[in-house]
Amino acid sequence: MPLPIDDVIGLMIDNLKKRKTVFPIPYRRATGWADGLNIPEGGKTVIYTGSMYQLLPYMIAAVKNMELVEDSFLGKFVFMGRFFNKMFNVSAFVSIPKKADVKRYKQIVYNIAKLLKKAGVEFGYLYRKELYAGTLAYDLGVDDAFRIQAKRVYNLLKENGVSTVITVDPHTTNIMRSVYPTIIDGYDIEVKSYLEVLATSDNLQPLHSVEKEITIHDSCVYARHESIIDEPRQLLKRAGYTIKEPKDNKALTHCCGGPIESIFPKMSHTIGKNRIQQFKDITNGGAVATMCPICMASLKKASGDGLEIEDISSFLVKAFCD
């Protein structure tokens, strides 16, 4: 029996309404990636993480527990978790992340900021003030909660004098660039993905030789929602990598399965395995570059130890940074 959809969605939406994020995490876990980078607070242009990468270790842990409950009688008791979650943060108990995952996803955002600095981009960060963009509420069709969150984010940006945001993941890019303007009158924030920013920078030149073949996994959201297809390829080529393309690629890329993981974990895993097979058809134990935290988590899980699946920023930083 699948998990009770209403209670699983309800739990996350209750969190969003009450705690301004679907998975409440300690704020240092959200902002700690910026330690040592001396990024100024605020500014007209800010890096906007939406905490997507930072949330992933918690989501991985939560999904693992949900898999245990899926198809068991325990699934019937998810409603109790939702009941108590209204009083205290139950999700904190069901999503205790692995330290290695926290470190891995934190490092990715650090690398992205490092690449932007190397490219000579001037940007600030909202640190503790930054809010989750509301992606999950939008995808799950909980429009009232999503609208509230979208307005919170927009007000936050306006109050802090932000006019341009540089996003680090496809979902936040899509929500802030293509969805917010449809529900917020006069929305005037310029939204760019860091991949677009880096691709247009002449300052970013390889410092180290990286002779390696990399199979590219396009994110559905970047490729089909935002038409970000050439930029990651330009950057990998400029870095010195040789790109390999899987059977389904670019605008016809194959989903990683991640978007349904919170409700249908096992089904999601099957989709991920199908995608992994496409990689294995063209590479034997090779490297795969993802550009979305959800893709990376889903594909890593589906691949086991067979492939080196890393975020594209991890490969770029090896070539472009000291």
Partner 1 sequence: MSKGVTAMTKVNPDFIKKVATSGEFNATACMNCGICTAVCPMDIELLPRKLFRYTLLGLEDKLLENTNIIYQCLLCKMCEENCTADVHIAENVRFLRSYISKEVFKL
CA dihedral for 101, 110, 166, 49, sign (positive or negative): positive
* Run of H or E residues at 275: helix 265-280
Complex with partner 1: residue 74 or 251, whichever CB lies closer:
251
Chosen residue from 2, 40, 120, 161 binding partner 1 by CB under 8 A = 2
Query: For residue 277, what are the β-bridge partners?
Result: none
Angle between helices 293-303 and 52-69 (to 10 degrees): 40
Helix (H, G, I), strand (E, B) or coil at 162: coil
| Binding status of residue 40 toward partner 1 by CB under 8 A | no
Chosen residue from 184, 210, 260, 321 binding partner 1 by CB under 8 A = 260
CA dihedral for 138, 141, 142, 144, sign (positive or negative): positive
Chosen residue from 252, 266, 281, 282 binding partner 1 by CB under 8 A = 252
Chosen residue from 6, 122, 190, 245 binding partner 1 by CB under 8 A = 6
Which of 193, 134, 205, 202 has its CA nearest to residue 164? 193
* CB of residue 188 to partner 1, shortest distance in Å: 23
Chosen residue from 251, 266, 281, 282 binding partner 1 by CB under 8 A = 251
Binding part of the chain for partner 1, among 20-28, 200-208, 254-262, 301-309 by CB under 8 A, reads 254-262
* CB of residue 21 to partner 1, shortest distance in Å: 17
| Binding status of residue 257 toward partner 1 by CB under 8 A | yes
220 to 97, 292, 296: CA distances (angstroms): 26, 9, 13
| Binding status of residue 180 toward partner 1 by CB under 8 A | no
CA distance 58 to 26: 11
| Binding status of residue 255 toward partner 1 by CB under 8 A | yes
| Binding status of residue 222 toward partner 1 by CB under 8 A | no
Which of 248, 232, 280 has its CA nearest to residue 112? 232
Which of 311, 274, 273, 314 has its CA nearest to residue 293? 311
| Binding status of residue 154 toward partner 1 by CB under 8 A | no
Chosen residue from 143, 190, 213, 230 binding partner 1 by CB under 8 A = 143
Complex with partner 1: residue 47 or 294, whichever CB lies closer:
294
Angle between helices 265-280 and 52-69 (to 10 degrees): 120
The residues near 201 (Cβ < 8 Å, ≥ 6 apart) are 119, 120, 121
Scanning 70-98, the segments in alpha helix (DSSP H) are 78-85, 91-94
Chosen residue from 78, 195, 263, 296 binding partner 1 by CB under 8 A = 263
Chosen residue from 132, 138, 180, 222 binding partner 1 by CB under 8 A = 138
* CB of residue 264 to partner 1, shortest distance in Å: 6
* CB of residue 87 to partner 1, shortest distance in Å: 18
Q: Which residues lie near partner 1 (CB under 8 A)? A: 2, 5-6, 9-10, 13, 138-145, 220, 224-225, 251-252, 254-255, 257, 259-260, 263-264, 267, 271, 274
